[in-house]
Chain A
Amino acid sequence: MPGIRKLHIKGLFSILKSPIEAFDVMRHQGEGSLVLATVLYVLFFACVVAGRQWTGYLFNFSRVEHLNIFIMLALSLGLVFLFIVSNMAVCTLSDGEGSLSDVYVVTAYATLPFILLSPPIILLSNVMSLGENTYYGLMNIVKYGWFVMLLFTGNMSAHQFTFKKTLFTMFLSAVGILIMLFMMFLGFALVTQLTEFLRTFYNEILFM
């Protein structure tokens, strides 16, 4: 698809107002940028880390001694990228029109409400008490719900799918993620066993 590489900040914010229209405009007039998308991914990860580290004590159950930036990376961005690959794989087979860079950009733009809502939620969590637990939960639901909604609409317009078909491919993408994870663990286990075998083999020869 030609011309999707244009940097257009205004188009980015219009997806908050009318997502379906904005994604369609972005697609047809080429207002999506890989650079901006990458920046958004970095900001998204920054928000995840900030949420873990700076959320107020009353709502923060993470433990300092368990902090592992790589696991956090795998659980946030890693999962998003797995989704992109899986979605690409599924949609190529079901005649989706979007290219890999389209999905990459559209998914990045979908994280926008997450990035915008995270800082105020983190700030508010520091001045809220457990009595306002419900509001805190509601804000988080909005944050994640909006993200998922945009992910869905963005995907729909990137591939030029109908609503039903998007629902179906989304489900298949989720299954695809599970299959990929399974393969990864399988490969990991195999490599471990192989190295273990070679090590024993080496030891056997050493003492023969």
Chain B
Amino acid sequence: MKKWVALLLAAIFILTPVTAIAGQPREAAFNSYVFNQHGRAVPAPASYLPLFALSGEAWGIGPLRNPSDVTAGPDGYLYIADTGNNRIIVLDENFALAEVIDAFTMNGEPFEFSHMSGLFVLPDGRIHIADHELRRVVTVDREGTVLMYLGSPESELLAEGFLFTPISVIEDPSGILYILSRGSYQGALMIDLQRDNLFLGFFGANTVAMSAGQLGQILWRRIMTREQRERMVQIIPVEFTNFDICPRGFIYVCTAFSEDNIGQLRRLNSNGDNILRTPQVNIPVNYGDPVFYTSRYVPVTTSFVDITYMQNGVFAALDRQRGRVFVYTADSHMVAVFGQIGDQLGRFANPVALASFNDTLVVLDGTRGEITAFGRTEYGELVMQALALHDQGRYEESVALWRGVLARNINLELAYLGIGRGLSRSGDLQGALWYLRRANNRQVYSEVFEMHRNQFTNDNFNLFALGFALICLAWIVFAQRKRIKRIIGRGRTVYAGD
């Protein structure tokens, strides 16, 4: 009998942990990972976890219909373009409803939107709205009064048959409006608001990446007739799908499709040049997930639909293909990934837009008409703090934080890089090299290695000089060995003959 009781107790003890797990904090509905030096995804702690999902019913304003954009205004409010209902929903910092802008007037008469697809909020509360169906960009204030109306620009720069289909719009601090027109591979349209809405030209077109296949196609074109040539697919740069502007005035753009996932995310200066850094100079990195081939060799690429600037040079981009948000540092190190296509909290049916709102990242689901807010975990917060110091060049101070990050995620190469930089700044070159090797950043390693080498030769200069002198001496003795022998021999003969 005693035996049975003991067995029962043992069974209870064995089974208890199962129930204990059920009571643990909520698990993420997606895998978190980082890519290691060989491009392989390795597990990482979650940096962001879903906080809640909110739909129109939560605010008592009925469901959202095909919302297409969400953006955080500089005034601390979150704006959602509820496209199907032709209204703008304004949320405060607690995600509570602040306002619904649904009655628009122009010169006192009612004004209707047809398909608002992009919002941009200015510091003074004005809102630029891109309406792609009626081919116009409209500026309204918080009361819904239309302040500016912009139709298709007329210019010789525009090709014949150019269709103005604005899908996204931003304004930079100098008052230039950038309008992204669907299907426009030349780049974004630049309009100077200070100079009577003058069309300035195109901005930041993607360049055609030259591949072997395209080179063959170009050679092929040479020997074809005009009719054949016209029937062929044209080689044109890929248009970009969305953009965002950071407080310093740089424009972040994302591209939906790229054969190799290189250059899908870019940071453009006012000249339209890509100035997004990569971990190593002149070595491009893959953004998003690597291309995956199905059993029928159909490539599944990462398809970025929205990009948003966060802080400290950190930005995030949304992949519609797999419903994932990728967070990158100013040096294009991937630090976080979250989200997935699916039904649970933290998964989406059709993610269309992304916004960085206070400390959260907000993803808008166009089909379900709801937003999901993601908050940083302790690990994510630690990475962000370390990055803030790292971005300001305070490498030494960031070392302690990076060590904390490393204790939670041994796979994050960025943490090794941070520690390596910090240690090299504070003079521990040997230690820095140990970490930089694990960071797998050969360029930074090489710089520190050079410093270490110089230090080593300086410290041991006497030894080197002595060694060199000894080698010279040995060489001379060897070269003159016959003469030396003769001299010694002569001395002996003198002695012998004496």
Contact = CB atoms under 8 A, between A and B. Distances in A.
B453 A130 contact: no
A38 interface: no
Interface string B422-450: 00000000000000010000110111011
Contacts of A198: none
Interface in B113-136: none
Contacts of A57: 437, 442, 445
B459 to A, nearest CB: 15
Interface residues of B, number: 10
A129 B38 contact: no
B279 to A, nearest CB: 14
A10 interface: no
A167 interface: no
Interface in A132-148: none
B443 A130 contact: yes
Contact of A63 (B38, B437, B450, B453): B38
* Chain A interface extent, by class: under 10
A2 interface: no
Given A57-B445, A63-B38, A129 B437 contact: no
B13 to A, nearest CB: 40
A50 B453 CA distance: 23
B442 A131 contact: no
A58 B446 contact: yes
Interface in A84-136: 127, 129-131
Contacts of B446: 58, 129-131
Interface in B51-93: none
A58 B449 contact: yes
Nearest to B433: A57
Helix, strand, loop or mixed for chain B's interface? Answer: helix
Contacts of B443: 130
A56 B38 CA distance: 19
B442 A127 contact: no
Contacts of A127: 453
Nearest to B437: A57
B454 to A, nearest CB: 10
B475 to A, nearest CB: 18
Nearest to A65: B38
Interface in A13-70: 57-58, 63
B184 to A, nearest CB: 41
A58 B450 CA distance: 11
Q: Residue among A58, A129, A130 with the most chain B CB within 10 A?
A: A129
A129 B429 CA distance: 15
Nearest to B451: A129
B144 to A, nearest CB: 59
B38 A130 contact: no
A129 B450 CA distance: 6
A152 to B, nearest CB: 32
A131 B442 CA distance: 11
Contacts of B442: 57-58, 130
A127 B450 CA distance: 9
A126 B454 CA distance: 14
Interface string B449-493: 110010000000000000000000000000000000000000000
A126 to B, nearest CB: 10
Contacts of A131: 446, 450
Contacts of B445: 57-58
Contacts of B450: 129, 131
Nearest to A133: B446
A127 B460 CA distance: 15
Nearest to A127: B453
B429 to A, nearest CB: 13
19 contacts: A57-B437, A57-B442, A57-B445, A58-B442, A58-B445, A58-B446, A58-B449, A63-B38, A127-B453, A129-B446, A129-B447, A129-B449, A129-B450, A129-B453, A130-B442, A130-B443, A130-B446, A131-B446, A131-B450
Interface of B: 38, 437, 442-443, 445-447, 449-450, 453
Cβ-closest 7 pairs across A and B: A130-B446, A129-B450, A129-B446, A129-B449, A58-B446, A58-B442, A57-B437
Given A57-B437, A129-B447, A130-B442, 16 more contacts: A57-B442, A57-B445, A58-B442, A58-B445, A58-B446, A58-B449, A63-B38, A127-B453, A129-B446, A129-B449, A129-B450, A129-B453, A130-B443, A130-B446, A131-B446, A131-B450
